[in-house]
Amino acid sequence: MSAEQSPKIVIVDESPIRAAILEEGLREAGFTQIVHIREMQSLLARIYAVDPDIILIDLENPSRDVLEAMFQVSRAVKRPIAMFVDQSDSSSIQASVEAGVSAYIVDGLRKERIKPILDLCVSRFNAFAKLQEELERTKSQLEDRKIIERAKGILMKVKGLTEDEAYVLLRSTAMREKKKIGEIAQSIITASEMLK
């Protein structure tokens, strides 16, 4: 950072992982004063206590409306706070809303200092979303694998097949029915439970 003091940044996010990812990015970029608020009770009071220059909040957070009230009761805050991004910056606001994050900036902070922070938010939020997607996919793959194992076991027992034969049968049926192997395996489990 330049000679200017690092702005004080508050992250309001109920997801500790996402907040950590964002905080790490901000620290790497040289921002040193970062406070993470997870608890939504008395949000405004806590923000006043920190007295930040910038507030970042995730859009899944209903407390965003609480922050909006700050503009209306500016006499309660030391410095008035204005919603980030004026009319000319519609592309930044679009990118941030799509990424799921919104920023509130205290009046007086220079615009060129805000842009890199918001860009960082957008990339980190998108990275988090991707991470979550991958996690979901891995989870469902794992789940599939368990189901396939169980279905193989049933086929081996009922039809006297080897493990390899059971798998080949599952796979060829899936191909013939144009379904996922996991779906075929699930229907075998369901059927065998019904026939118990």
Segments of the chain assigned E as strands: 9-12, 34-37, 54-58, 81-83, 101-106
| Residue among 8, 60, 56 at smallest CA distance from 32 | 8
Q: Does 90 bind other proteins (CB under 8 A)?
A: yes
Alpha-carbon distance of 35 to 12, in angstroms, equals: 9
The binder of other proteins chosen from 24, 51, 60, 134 (CB under 8 A): 60
Q: x/- binding map, residues 95-134, to other proteins, per CB under 8 A?
A: --xx---x--------------------------------
The binder of other proteins chosen from 35, 59, 154, 169 (CB under 8 A): 59
Give 11's strand partners: 36, 56
Which helix (DSSP H) or strand (DSSP E) does residue 96 occupy?
helix 90-99
Q: x/- binding map, residues 131-170, to other proteins, per CB under 8 A?
A: ----------------------------------------
Q: Does 74 bind other proteins (CB under 8 A)?
A: no
Q: Does 42 bind other proteins (CB under 8 A)?
A: yes
Give 174's strand partners: none
Q: Does 183 bind other proteins (CB under 8 A)?
A: no
Angle at 41 between CA 37 and CA 45, to 5 degrees: 75
Which spans of this chain sit near other proteins (rule: CB under 8 A)? 40-42, 44, 59-69, 71-72, 83, 85-87, 90, 93-94, 97-98, 102
